[in-house]
Structure 1
Amino acid sequence: MEIKKTLLWVVFSVSGIMLFNNWQIAHGNKPLPFLAPPSATNSTTPSNVKDAENGAQLPNTPSLSQKQSNIPGGVAKNTMEPIAINTIHLENDVLDLEISSKGGTITKSSLKKHLDKGDKGDPVILMENKANHIYLARSGLISQGLDVPNHNDLFLQKLGSDGTTLVLVSEKNGITYEKTYTLKPNSYVLEVTHKVTNKSSSPILSTIYAELVRDGTSIDESEFYSTFTGPAMFTEKDKFKEVAFKDIENNKIPPPAPLGLEEPGWVAMVQHYFASAWIPETNTKREFYFDKLDKNLYRIGMTSSLDTIAPGATQSQTAKLFIGPDDETILRPISPGFELIKDYGRLTIIAKPIFWFLTQIHSVVGNWGWAIIILTVLIKLAFFPLSAASYKSMARMKEVQPRLVQMKEQYKNDPTKLNKEMMEMYRKEKINPLGGCLPVVIQIPVFISLYWVLLLSVEMRGAPWTLWIHDLSAPDTSLSDLVGLSIPIGILPILMAISMFVQTKLNPAPPDPVQAKVMLFMPLAFSLMFFFFPSGLVLYYIVNNLLSIGQQWQINRLYGSKK
């Protein structure tokens, strides 16, 4: 029974399907149904953006409660002509925010320490309000049966003398709503204080809402891998939960139950490397909501109830708005579970210790490229006994390879007899046919976890290694830059292909000639894919392959001398 042959064909088949799926996506087609990522969205540009920007009250989905259905929709621009809308900058060392007097909405956010081309270019723009890309953070006030200030109203603005505090005030029907934005030095967290004063003659019940509005276009830095883009939320009960745009569109996920007074919770909008999130106080009644505002336009938010405000009385609440990178050292202190925004999926339990270990190595060597190399070596050493058993099994299989070929020829018309003779030979030679596969299978979760650690870590973005590698998060384009090609062709993927070819030659060739040829062509196929992968990932695979080659060569040499 040729179990190894079956396993190899399974690997080749899966690789072929995934390559075809990526080719489909790269050419604008839908992914295969069973490979569609959770973040697959309708990437069309909103056709009704102009109506939304003019403050249209768009319908809410039935999933919203009656209170939440009072939250106004639309992506509002000025509807109060001839009064002009002002935009004020609020900035510190790491953030530059543009805040509109229309609703006090954050219409643009620039991350000063993260450049749009990794190690060069202009600051990354996370939020903006354009015809082809809408991403906003806004808040407002709702009160049943009473028209109160919200994100569609004009606010008076007063910027503090230090440029890090902004006060916005609006009044309607005797209700004064004041928002104060405070940006501390070197912080990605904006503190937002909501203050409501009742100047009317009757008590009121009001609720503050804070939401993130975004179009459903995914942000991926390559056509050959996909990361999640969309809303997410956290509760103590359900922990971190991503909400795909398509699930909002189809009303597949109901909002969770209201949070307890002391239960932590927040809502976020995440994409590759960066995120934004509203984190309100924990001593208030809060509820999540999310819905579709328009074609390819969605929002996720949280309401926070105020107590009854008597005439002449004032109440206030404070919330946090995070706008920044998925850096765990920055995320962890902000709120319970906030570091989960950097989502490793089901392999989190393995990936998080690997990332912690990688950061410890980096704190010593001071270079992420060398940290990747050292971590790969340490992981290889940890799995040395398993790898050695695998390579010994392969070496034994290589010894009996001529006899297997002879058996296949001798019993080519009698598969039952062939399997019987093969199993008898394995028994006499004390060879386990699965001996070369099972140790590898055990290591797969670790190496997949390391793959996601390197792919999702914003710390790699713009981080150099040495010589020609200036950004470990970007593909190696060293050769294409020399000859002026538009497609990425670099030295690392070529070295990767060479290492895979050498490793293939050291392993026993399959008895089937077709399989043997496929094994020789696999390095070429994989190297084409690795041209588009981040340099840090390719570096990891090269080091791992080189270590495997050395280990396999030594074992083959020892068995050859014994023979």
Structure 2
Amino acid sequence: MDNKRLLLFGAFFITLLMIWQEWGAWQAAKNAPPAPVAVQGGSSISSAADLPDTAPTPGVASPVGVPGTGQVVKQAKRIKVTTDLLEIEIDTLGGDLRVARLSAYPVDPATPDEPFPLLGDSGELFNVAQSGLLSAETKLPNHHDIYTSVADDYSLEAGQDKLEVRLSWRGENGVEVDKIYTFHRGSYLVDLRHELRNSGADQFSASQYRQLQRTDPGQQSMFLYTYTGGVIYSDEERYEKIDFDEMSDKKLAREITDGWAAMIQHYFLSAWIPVRGEANHYFSNVIDGNRFILGLRGPANSVAPGAAQQFESQLYMGPKLQNDLEKIATGLELTVDYGVLTVLAQPLFWLLTFIYDNIISNWGWAIILLTIMIKAVFYKLSETSYKSMANMRKISPRLATLKERYGDDKQRFQQEMMKMYKTEKINPLGGCLPILVQIPVFIALYWMLLESVEMRQAPFIFWLTDLSSKDPYFVLPLLMGASMIIQQKLNPAPLDPIQAKVMMALPIIFTVFFAFFPSGLVLYWVVNNVLSIAQQWVITRRIENAGKP
């Protein structure tokens, strides 16, 4: 394999990555169910079918006395909760978390006062967090029942570290339940507690369920595929995607101790996290073809007459900040999905964050410094590759003469070419290993920059105000294409006319692809190409001038 073929292989590999992303986007768009229909008044359709499976499981109670299938559940009264990071709306119907807006993450930099809506139950966005209690012997409140609250508005005031929102339900059977949300300053993690009191004459068993219910939004980008769907974690399977197609094909039913269940999307997630050491039944369901449910149901606890019982859990609603997520639950940081190259991408992210925190507080310059560091690590390997290319370039005219001399006699041409390599002490495989070693690192960096929420709306310089979106004036993609052309000029010209045509087309193809890529990714490629050009030019000039008087 000569260096030109290897470069073609590398370009082909990266092109395959891009095509795979396009295929993923096409498949997601093709298989996506119809978009949810907006319900007037912001109401949502709900039924007993969106409760956990009524089939009993060992140690877990089953629901009774729930509304009939097909019943329409509308909004009741809204309770607004405002913290330093969250704008929340809780519906007294079920005590559901119906709306969650992230005030620190605007929808668009041009509208900083419009927070990103992670949860919502109106228009095209249906993504809600639900919870309740189940019992086989008595009526307990699920997310179809009405709670009451002493206030309609709650705010985390200055100097206040936490905010408690209490909802109450009273049953006719002497059962009382308080559903309590606790919000914390500087945190996207919310504590949930069900306080159950049995004032009746009968003993019963009760269990808590928590679920996330959302619609499939379909693929959001034509050029970049990012996963939207369910994820569960267990010590056995670790990070496991439960996508919408899988939920449609088969219901999830698994017993997991610890773990968590989440609905994730690009940059953000919502996740139910049980109490440490608690065994839960994890389940999924599909309602009306395009409402997907992923949740967990805890073990049943006996509640004697006059006794009380508490059920606790936590809900995370926020950005995929790795350092925060790993402190909340084991494996939660894996929702920042770097795929099979996580082992490389995570150290790269750590280094990028270190540069940002300790050297320069600008993600664009941090990317440039990281690229320089990576280039320095691979300097000697790159030097080997560029030396091989320079030597090949030096003998290119002689190889062209050989090709003309032997015409269609490919076997003779190969023999003479190998003889020339031996005479000139050129190893045609000399550039293979360096490039092959670097490809996984480059791809890992690509995924790291694509998945990191830190890049979202991060400004760089001048017109580049969002490193997670495309360059609005296409300057970086054009620079990237120009750098590819310059690199080609430094490489030996292909003897094969088909290879020559492919090499001429690659800068155009890559420029078109990169025109729609996040500018942070394109910035990395431009800097890497410029550094490669500088190193290759110096090495090429040195070798070409060797032996000259």
Task: Calculate the TM-score normalised by the size of structure 1.
Answer: 0.87
Q: Take 2:54 and 2:206, find their aligned partners in 1: how far apart are those partners? A: 21
Q: Take 1:549 and 1:441, find their aligned partners in 2: how far apart are those partners? A: 18
Tell whether 2:462 aligns with 1:494.
no
Distance 1:356 1:21, change over 3 A: closer
1:235 aligns to what? 234
Contact 2:389-2:431 at 8 Å conserved across structures: yes
- Determine helix, strand or coil for the equivalent of 2:330: coil
Distance 1:7 1:554, change over 3 A: closer
1:484 aligns to what? none
- Determine helix, strand or coil for the equivalent of 1:279: strand
Contact 1:367-1:465 at 8 Å conserved across structures: yes
Aligned partner of 1:157 among 129, 146, 149: 149
- Determine helix, strand or coil for the equivalent of 1:148: coil
1:258 aligns to what? 256
Distance 1:422 1:526, change over 3 A: same
2:35 aligns to what? 45
Distance 1:468 1:49, change over 3 A: closer
- Determine helix, strand or coil for the equivalent of 1:116: strand
Q: Take 1:296 and 1:63, find their aligned partners in 2: how far apart are those partners? A: 21
Shift of 1:315: 0.3
Q: Take 2:387 and 2:180, find their aligned partners in 1: how far apart are those partners? A: 68
Shift of 1:284: 3.1
Q: In the TM superposition, what whole-angstrom CA distance separates every residue of 1:512-531 from its partner, at most 9, and x where no partner exists?
A: 22322321221122111111
Tell whether 2:432 aligns with 1:432.
no
Amino acid at match of 2:381: L
Contact 1:63-1:255 at 8 Å conserved across structures: no
Aligned partner of 2:517 among 526, 533, 543: 533
1:418 aligns to what? 413
Q: Take 2:116 and 2:408, find their aligned partners in 1: how far apart are those partners? A: 65
Contact 2:167-2:179 at 8 Å conserved across structures: yes
Instruction: Map 1:136-147 onto structure 2 (within 5 A).
Output: 136-147=128-139
Q: In the TM superposition, what whole-angstrom CA distance separates every residue of 1:527-550 from its partner, at most 9, and x where no partner exists?
A: 111111111111111110000000
1:391 aligns to what? 386
Q: Take 1:446 and 1:16, find their aligned partners in 2: how far apart are those partners? A: 16
Distance 1:206 1:551, change over 3 A: same
Q: Take 1:279 and 1:64, find their aligned partners in 2: how far apart are those partners? A: 23
2:505 aligns to what? 521
1:483 aligns to what? none
Amino acid at match of 1:89: K
Shift of 1:112: 0.2
2:160 aligns to what? none
Shift of 1:211: 0.6
Contact 1:60-1:292 at 8 Å conserved across structures: no
Query: Which has the larger displacement, 157-166 or 315-324?
Result: 157-166
Identity of aligned residues (%): 37
Aligned partner of 2:470 among 466, 469, 475: 475
Q: Which consecutive unaligned segments of at least 5 residues does structure 2 have?
A: 157-162
- Determine helix, strand or coil for the equivalent of 1:332: helix
Q: Take 1:316 and 1:62, find their aligned partners in 2: how far apart are those partners? A: 22
Amino acid at match of 1:211: Q
Contact 1:376-1:543 at 8 Å conserved across structures: yes
Shift of 1:183: 0.8
Contact 2:363-2:460 at 8 Å conserved across structures: yes
Shift of 1:436: 2.1
1:114 aligns to what? 105
Shift of 1:461: 1.1
Q: Cα RMSD between the aligned structures?
A: 2.9
Shift of 1:157: 1.5
Q: Take 1:516 and 1:158, find their aligned partners in 2: how far apart are those partners? A: 75
Contact 2:458-2:465 at 8 Å conserved across structures: yes
1:224 aligns to what? 223
1:487 aligns to what? none
Contact 1:119-1:462 at 8 Å conserved across structures: no
Tell whether 2:348 aligns with 1:354.
yes
Q: Which consecutive unaligned segments of at least 5 residues does structure 1 have?
A: 480-489
Tell whether 2:111 aligns with 1:133.
no
Contact 1:53-1:76 at 8 Å conserved across structures: no
- Determine helix, strand or coil for the equivalent of 1:196: strand
Q: Take 2:259 and 2:204, find their aligned partners in 1: how far apart are those partners? A: 26
Task: Calculate the TM-score normalised by the size of structure 2.
Answer: 0.89
Aligned partner of 1:281 among 272, 275, 280: 275
Q: Take 1:543 and 1:188, find their aligned partners in 2: how far apart are those partners? A: 36
Contact 2:176-2:199 at 8 Å conserved across structures: yes
Contact 1:207-1:305 at 8 Å conserved across structures: yes
Shift of 1:510: 0.8
Tell whether 2:94 aligns with 1:103.
yes
Amino acid at match of 2:514: F
Q: Take 2:182 and 2:532, find their aligned partners in 1: how far apart are those partners? A: 54
Q: Take 1:207 and 1:46, find their aligned partners in 2: how far apart are those partners? A: 31
Amino acid at match of 1:467: F
- Determine helix, strand or coil for the equivalent of 1:468: coil
Q: Take 1:194 and 1:76, find their aligned partners in 2: how far apart are those partners? A: 25
- Determine helix, strand or coil for the equivalent of 2:239: strand
Q: Take 2:277 and 2:166, find their aligned partners in 1: how far apart are those partners? A: 24
- Determine helix, strand or coil for the equivalent of 2:116: strand
Q: In the TM superposition, what whole-angstrom CA distance separates every residue of 1:452-507 from its partner, at most 9, and x where no partner exists?
A: 11111111111111122111111111x3xxxxxxxxxx211111111111111111
Instruction: Map 1:17-416 onto structure 2 (within 5 A).
Output: 30-31=26-27, 41-46=31-36, 53-58=44-49, 66=57, 70=63, 78=73, 85-118=76-109, 120-121=111-112, 122-159=114-151, 164-174=163-173, 175-218=175-218, 220=220, 222-251=221-250, 254-259=252-257, 264-363=258-357, 364-416=359-411
Contact 1:53-1:75 at 8 Å conserved across structures: no
